[in-house]
């Protein structure tokens, strides 16, 4: 069999959209935990490189196979996750191309002349198309100075910022470029600790915070514009997943994450508006 021959995957009949959504949620939760483990913990079970070699051998020996057969011999949940990571690595490097025609029809084949240098850019372009940024604005009957002061008060975030459950480290000194703070929270079901750094800071006008929770890089831009009635607050949020979470993010975003993310920002702005206008 030539490496450029097509190999068709035939998933189990029960792989409906609802079933896949449920399993992907469970898998994403496990990936968040595994991503924070030392690498040698995974390598004690089986290395990703070994699993990649195994998958390449297996897929060239069979013309048709079910996805479940790839994990049939796994001895633990960790090995199942390593298998998933190995598949994503093959896709990332464009050694393996996976085409999802529907929830129950997946076709995959090797690409003999894959352009490795452009693989990462291609994956990032696909993610940007599938996971568009969020932008929400609101009018607040308060001065830009008052709105700005609230945006800079990290200690107050749990009281009005919906994705912030608690602040673990409120930062040292006044907010500025290079200011770092830590928090626990997120958009359900993806919650955890994250570290944020202020990368842009134009007093009473604009600031940008970049956060990292170990699986996703988040960029939050905050812009203020003075209006006749007060201040227009605009928040823009963009996501960039680690490579092993890209596929999960691309699937979960249209299912729920995009809608929940926009709702969280809208409610955050409503909370800020209520707090400032009550003063």
pLDDT reported for residue 116 = 37
Number of domains in the chain: 2
Structure confidence at residue 126 (pLDDT)? 52
Least confidently predicted of 126-135, 177-186, 194-203: 126-135
Q: How confident is the model at residue 88 (pLDDT cuts 50, 70, 90)?
A: confident
- Residues 44, 135 within the same domain: no
89 and 164 inside one domain: no
Name the CA dihedral angle for 269, 271, 275, 276, rounded to a multiple of 10 degrees.
10
Q: How far is CA 39 from CA 26, 45, 48, 80, 223, in A?
A: 21, 11, 10, 16, 40
Tens of pLDDT along 189-247? 788 999 999 999 999 999 999 999 988 899 999 999 999 999 999 999 998 887 767 77
Answer whether residue 270 is part of any domain.
Answer: yes
Same domain, 81 and 199: no
Residue 43 lies in domain? 6-114
Examine residue 194 and state whether it is found in any structural domain, yes or no: yes
CA distance linking residue 143 with residue 215, whole number of Å? 37
144 and 237 in a single domain? The answer is yes
The answer to whether position 40 is within a domain reads yes
**Residue 120 placed within a domain:** no
Mean pLDDT for the stretch of residues 130-140: 86
Is the pLDDT reported for residue 29 higher than 80? no
CATH number at residue 234: 3.30.530.20
Read off the pLDDT of residues 145-178 as tens digits, 9 standing for 90 and up.
Answer: 999 999 999 999 999 999 999 999 999 999 999 9
89 and 172 both lie in a single domain: no
pTM of the model as a whole = 0.58
Helix ranges (DSSP H) in 93-212: 116-130, 144-152
Q: Report the range of poorest mean pLDDT among 72-76, 111-115, 139-143, 191-195.
A: 111-115
Separation of alpha carbons 263 and 256, rounded Å: 11
């Amino acid at each position: 069999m030539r490496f450029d021959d097509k190999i068709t995957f035939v998933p189990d009949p029960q792989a409906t959209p609802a079933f896949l959504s449920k399993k992907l949620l469970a898998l994403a939760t496990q990936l968040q935990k595994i991503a924070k483990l030392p690498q040698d913990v995974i390598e004690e079970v089986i290395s990703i490189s070994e699993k990649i070699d195994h998958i390449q051998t297996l897929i060239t020996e069979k013309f048709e196979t079910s996805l479940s057969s790839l994990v049939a011999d796994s001895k633990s949940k960790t090995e199942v996750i390593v298998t998933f990571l190995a598949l994503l690595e093959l896709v990332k490097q464009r050694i393996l191309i996976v085409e999802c025609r529907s929830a129950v029809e997946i076709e995959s084949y090797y690409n003999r002349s894959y352009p490795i240098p452009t693989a990462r850019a291609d994956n990032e372009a696909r993610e940007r198309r599938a996971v568009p940024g969020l932008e929400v604005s609101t009018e607040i009957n308060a001065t830009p100075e008052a709105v700005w002061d609230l945006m800079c008060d990290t200690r107050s975030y749990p009281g009005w910022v919906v994705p912030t459950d608690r602040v673990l480290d409120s930062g040292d000194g006044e907010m500025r470029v290079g200011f770092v703070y830590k928090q626990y929270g997120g958009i359900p079901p993806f919650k955890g600790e994250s570290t944020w750094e202020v990368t842009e800071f134009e007093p009473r006008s604009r600031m940008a915070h970049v956060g990292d929770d170990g699986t996703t890089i988040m960029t939050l831009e905050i812009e203020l514009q003075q209006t006749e009635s007060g201040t227009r607050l605009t928040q823009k949020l963009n996501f960039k997943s680690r490579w092993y979470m890209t596929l999960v993010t691309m699937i979960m975003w249209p299912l729920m994450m995009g809608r929940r993310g926009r709702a969280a920002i809208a409610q955050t702005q409503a909370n800020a508006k209520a707090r400032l206008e009550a003063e």
